[in-house]
Structure 1
Amino acid sequence: MAEDEDSVDLSALEAELQAAIDDDARYWRENDAKLRAVEQKVATYDEFKDIVKACHLRPLDKEDKLGHSKKATVWNSMAAKKQQSLALEMTQHCVPTSIKGEETRVPATMSEFAEQWRPLDICDRLQLLKRMGPATLGQVLRTEIPVGTLGEILQALLAFPPTTDDIILVVQLLEALAQAKRFSLSLRFLSSVEKATCRQLMEKLNSSLQNRQQDLAEHGVTEWSVLELKNKYSV
C-alpha cells in the first residue's frame, strides 16, 4: 500500500496547483456567472461563454493597486488560501470509515443528490459516490451535469484509496459520468485546478494498476481502459 501511495507524484500536483492559483482567483466569479447563464436559459453556447468571460469586467476601486508591489495581490489572498487548502485535501487518501447519515437513502434525482452533496467534505462525497455506484449516478445525471458538479466529483474521486475494489469503482464512475448529457460542455468549463485534478486522477489510476493487472483485468479494467478515459476527459 505504501509503495502505491508513494508512486503518486504529489510534488507535480502541488506545482500545477500553485501555477494555477492566479488563473483561478476568478474561479468563484466564473461559477456564479455560469449559474446565472443557466438560470437565464441562454440560447447558444457562445452566449453562455460570453457571459462567463464578461464576469471579470469591473471598474477598479481606489484600493486596487497596479504594478508589482506586495499590495497588488492582496485581493487574491482568499482565493490563494482556498486553492492551497484544496491542494492539501486532494493529496490525501480518504480512509474508509462508516458513512455519516448512513440511514439516508441513496439519492434518486438530481435535486436529492444536490441536497446531500453540497454540505459534505471530500471524503464524505467519495463515500456518497460509492453508495450510489455507476448505475445510479448515471441515472441521476442522465439529463445533464449541473454547472460545477463535474469538477467537484473529480476532486472527490482523486481521494480514493488505491485498493482493487476502489480502482474498479472509480473507473466505472468516470465512465458513467462521460455518458451524461452535456458532459463535453461541463468538461470545457473545468477550471485550471479542476483540469489539474483530472490529470492527477488519471495518473493515480495508472500508477494504481501496478501489481494488480490480473485482478483488475478480470473486471475489465486495464491500461487501455484508463487510456480511453484520458481521451474522453481530454487529458
Structure 2
Amino acid sequence: MDADGAVDPRALERELRAAVAEDERRDRENEAKLRAMRQRVPSYEQFRNIVLASHLKPLEKKDKMGQRRNVLWNPCAAHAKVPQASDVEIPQELDQLPGTSAEFYRDWRRCLKSRKLKYQFLLELGGEALGRIFQADLGYGLLGEFLTVLAENVCHEDRDAILQILQSLSGTKRFGLNLDLLSEPEKESSRDLFRKLWSMSREYWTAGHPSSAAGCEAEGEAHLMDASLQNKTEEERRVLELMKCYQIN
C-alpha cells in the first residue's frame, strides 16, 4: 500500500507471480521424488540428482543460438590488470540479476556452467539479496551446492561477503533440515570452507596485533577453537558463531 492506503497492483502482481512459481517448484520436486521412489533408485545420490534435475526442460533453438558476450563481473577486478582469458563469460540472460527464487533456479541451472561463474553470481547477489530471495524456503540441494562453490573459490578479499552470505542463508526457513540433508562431500566442503575462513580471520587478527603473533603460532588449533569468545576479535567471533550454526566441530 502507498501513503494513502491504496493497494499497489504491481506489487501484488509480483507477489502473486512469486507465489505461483514457488508452488510450481514444490509440485515439480514432489513429483520427481515420487518418480524416483517408483524407479527404486539404488542410492541417495541418484535420488537427489533426479530431484535437482526436475526443473530441466529441452533446449529450444533460441537457447542454442543466443548471443553471448564477455562481462567482467567482479567490480574489484576492474582496478587490477588481469589477462583477457580470466574474464567471465556471462549469458545474455543474466544481464539482470534474479529477484525471485524461480528466476534464481532458472539462472543457476541453465545459465551458469562453471563453479567459478556460480561463485561470482553469489557474490554479485550478496547475502542480503539471497536471504530475501530464499526467505520462504531454500530449495532442496542448493545449500550443499552453495557451500561447495564457496569452498572451492573463497579468497581473502571476499571473506566479508561470504560471511554475510552464510549468515543470511542460516536465517532461511528449514535451514536445519537442509543442513541435515547435506551429502558427505558437501559436509566436507562446509568444513573446508570454515577452515579457510578461520585461517583468514587469524591472519587478519595477527596482522593487526604483531606482538601477539608468536604466541598465537605456539598455540594448538584445538586450543584456539575452544577459547572463550570474549578473547576473540569480532571477526573471529563471527566465524565461530557461524561454525556452530553450520554444525562445524
Gaps of 5+ in 1: 1-24, 37-94
Contact 1:99 1:127 in 2 (8 A): no
Shift, 1:179, TM fit: 0.5
Q: Deviations over 1:80-137 (max 9, x none)?
A: xxxxxxxxxxxxxxx9744513752111001100011114321111011011011110
Is 1:110–2:101 an aligned residue pair?
A: yes
Counterpart CA distance in 1 for 2:119 and 2:234 is 20
Measured in 1, the distance between the counterparts of 2:178 and 2:114 equals 21
Structure 2 vs 1, CA of residues 135 and 202 (structure 1 numbering), >3 Å: closer, same or farther? same
Q: Shift of residue 190 of structure 1? A: 0.4
- Normalising by structure 1, report the TM-score: 0.57
Pairwise CA distance, 1:225: 0.8
Match of 2:90 in 1: 100
Query: How has the CA–CA distance of structure 1 residues 112 and 208 changed in structure 2, closer, same or farther, with 3 Å as cutoff?
Result: same
Give 1:44-55 correspondences, 5 Å limit: none
Q: 1:176-198, CA deviations, whole angstroms, 9 ceiling, x for partnerless residues?
A: 00001111110010001111110
- 1:234 corresponds to which residue? 247
| Residues 53-64 of structure 1: pairs in structure 2 closer than 5 A | none
Q: Which amino acid aligns with 1:176?
A: S
Task: Describe the shift of the 1:212–1:143 C-alpha distance in structure 2 as closer, same or farther (beyond 3 A).
Answer: same
Q: Counterpart amino acid of 1:100?
A: I
1:6-17 alignment to 2 at 5 Å? none
**Normalized per residue, which structure has more helix?**
2
Q: Deviations along 1:22-80, whole A, 9 cap, x unmatched?
A: xxx934223157679xxxxxxxxxxxxxxxxxxxxxxxxxxxxxxxxxxxxxxxxxxxx
Task: State the distance in 2 between where 1:121 and 1:176 align.
Answer: 23
Tell me if structure 1 keeps the 8 A contact 2:163–2:239: yes
Query: Residues 145 and 109 (structure 1 numbering): CA distance in 2 closer, same or farther, change over 3 Å?
Result: same
The structure whose RCO (Cα within 8 Å, separation 6+) is larger is 1
Q: CA RMSD in A?
A: 2.8
Q: Which residue of 2 aligns with 1:31?
A: 48
**What TM-score do the two structures reach when normalised by structure 2?**
0.54
Q: Who is 1:44 aligned against? A: none
Q: Is the 8 A contact 1:168 1:221 kept in 2?
A: no
Partner residue, 1:78? none
Alpha-carbon separation, structure 2, partners of 1:122 and 1:193: 15
Say whether the 8 Å CA contact 1:171–1:221 is kept in structure 2: no
Unaligned runs of 5+ in 2: 1-41, 54-84, 209-232
Task: Show the counterpart of 1:58.
Answer: none
For residues 96 and 130 of structure 1, what CA distance do their matches in structure 2 show? 17
Matching residue of 2:134: 141
Q: Distance in 2 between matches of 1:35 and 1:225?
A: 32
Distance in structure 2 (CA, Å) of the matches to 1:232 and 1:207: 18
Distance 2:183 2:89 in 1: 29
Q: Distance in 2 between matches of 1:185 and 1:109?
A: 22
**2:136 matched to 1:123?**
no
Aligned position for 2:153: 160
Q: Which has the larger radius of gyration?
A: 2
Q: Secondary structure at the match of 1:169?
A: helix
Q: Give the residue type in structure 1 aligned to 2:99.
A: A
Deviation, structure 1 residue 163:
2.2
The alignment-based identity, stated in percent, is 29
Contact 2:101–2:134 (8 Å) recurs in 1: yes
